[in-house]
């Protein structure tokens, strides 16, 4: 039985409660590193076979820290590369069989812009307090949590869904169906888009779905369905129990 593990990256140096990071490429803070280490401990029971992350460094750092907890070395698979016979098309490669070819201590990892955080347009990297002063708290909340519309000159959640879900269907889900344990390290928006698709959440209800930094969602694949295993509880809530 395959597993799908979704994890939001650890806290970035540009703290999410202060600014809208979006595509601003910032590394993890010290707290973010600790959150990634906590994820590694939580995932000790599941031996990972394959991993994906966005093109932004905060997801990649989180991913490598989690893999280090399993004493595995990530091998980056360049999706444009091929054997020369198929024009470099990764779709013609049985890519999810890589663990057997590489050995148990090596794991193939893919970096893709399809899993990037949403692009915030004019709001990119700006302080939330300043945005609220200009546009109002209600408008900012609508841009951040509603399915659409998006912020000025930026992406809505619907737009993120339009790039993240097709990639998931074509590239990630086949590995889970093949019985692999697959880790996906992504962002608030791209994870909300994937959860909306997986759990069939409506455009209205998705507003209430949030991922804390370092939060995990674990699904098992059984009888043609992805079933959520762990309760919807943030790391902060768990620590305060």
| Residues annotated as part of the active site | 9, 117
> 57: buried, middle or exposed (CB in 10 Å: 19+, 13-18, 0-12)?
middle
Q: What is the dihedral of CA 171, 176, 177, 179, to 10 degrees?
A: 140
Please report how the helices 188-199 and 157-167 are oriented relative to each other, as an axis angle in degrees rounded to 10: 70
What is the spatial distance between Cα 115 and Cα 107, in angstroms, rounded to a whole number?
19
């Amino acid at each position: 039985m395959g597993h799908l593990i979704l994890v939001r990256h650890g806290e970035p140096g540009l703290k999410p409660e202060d600014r809208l990071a979006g595509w601003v490429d910032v590394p993890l803070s010290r707290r973010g590193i600790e959150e990634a280490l906590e994820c590694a401990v939580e995932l000790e029971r599941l031996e990972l076979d394959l991993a994906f992350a966005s093109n932004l460094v905060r997801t990649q750092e989180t991913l490598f820290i989690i893999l280090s907890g399993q004493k595995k070395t990530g091998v980056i698979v360049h999706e444009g590369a091929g054997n020369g016979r198929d024009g470099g098309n990764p779709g013609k490669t049985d890519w999810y069989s890589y663990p057997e070819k590489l050995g148990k201590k090596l794991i193939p990892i893919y970096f893709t812009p399809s899993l990037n955080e949403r692009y915030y347009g004019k709001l990119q990297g700006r302080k939330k307090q300043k945005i609220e002063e200009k546009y109002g708290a209600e408008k900012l909340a609508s841009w951040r949590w509603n399915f659409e519309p998006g912020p000025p000159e930026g992406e809505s959640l619907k737009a993120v869904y339009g790039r993240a879900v097709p990639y998931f269907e074509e590239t990630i889900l086949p590995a889970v169906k093949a019985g692999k344990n697959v880790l996906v390290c992504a962002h608030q928006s791209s994870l909300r888009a994937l959860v909306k698709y997986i759990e069939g959440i409506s455009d209205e209800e998705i507003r209430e779905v949030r991922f804390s930094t370092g939060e995990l969602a674990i699904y098992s694949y059984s009888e043609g369905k992805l079933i959520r295993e762990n309760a919807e509880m943030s790391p902060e809530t768990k620590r305060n129990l």
